[in-house]
Amino acid sequence: MKIEEFNNAIKSKISSGYELKEDKDSYGNASAWIILSNKRDSESVAKAVKAYKGRCIVATAYKNIDGTHTVIYHFDIEGLIINLQLETEDQSIFSITPILPSANWAEREIREMYGVEPIGHPDKDRLFLDYSLAKGVLNEYISLSKMQLGVSETDVLWENVNKEVKQ
């Protein structure tokens, strides 16, 4: 599979424009980045991946400083990695699971970890996260230094240790 061929397949299908970047890893394996202007176009790309019998390997998400979210789907077509990047301001994306079932768990994971709703996803259930926890747990920012010294403001266990250990 060549990047050019895939690009030709999606060119006319994407309505709002996109940026294409080519990349290579240290082993010389090619990968493509497709950065969408409009998240809606993810469905067109997913359809093209499906037509080439590709699959969604996994998806990545993160919360930006301004509160918006970036979501990246990672597709594989015969060894070519295609990264589809999109932005969302309202914590929602259009689910591609109805087109590519392999995106099922990845989208559910993004829903519970970042609170980004994949609209039209067939499965409403949680994947890993317990119902006692609010979704979007990874949206919280915890600095590395805070994490290294323990995030709890009052460390109850250490208070107990210090009661037992005389100084």
| Interface with other proteins (CB under 8 A) | 129-130, 132-133, 137, 140, 148-152, 155, 157-158, 160-165, 167
Nearest distance from residue 88's CB to other proteins, in Å? 23
Nearest distance from residue 87's CB to other proteins, in Å? 26
Nearest distance from residue 43's CB to other proteins, in Å? 32
Instruction: State which residue, 51 or 149, has the beta carbon closest to other proteins.
Output: 149
Instruction: State which residue, 122 or 150, has the beta carbon closest to other proteins.
Output: 150
Instruction: State which residue, 119 or 144, has the beta carbon closest to other proteins.
Output: 144
Nearest distance from residue 112's CB to other proteins, in Å? 11
Nearest distance from residue 45's CB to other proteins, in Å? 33
In contact, 22 and 45? CB cutoff 8 Å: no
Give the C-alpha separation, 101 to 96, whole Å.
Answer: 8
Instruction: State which residue, 8 or 162, has the beta carbon closest to other proteins.
Output: 162
Instruction: State which residue, 66 or 140, has the beta carbon closest to other proteins.
Output: 140
Write out the DSSP string of 60-114: EEEE-TTS-EEEEEEEEETTEEEEEEEEESSSEEE--TTT-GGGHHHHHHHHHHH
The closest of 132, 69, 136, 61 to 103, measured between CA atoms, is 61
SS (H, E, C) 102-158: HHHHHHHHHHHHHCCEEECCCCCCCCCCCCCCCCCHHHCCCCHHHHHCCCCCCCHHH
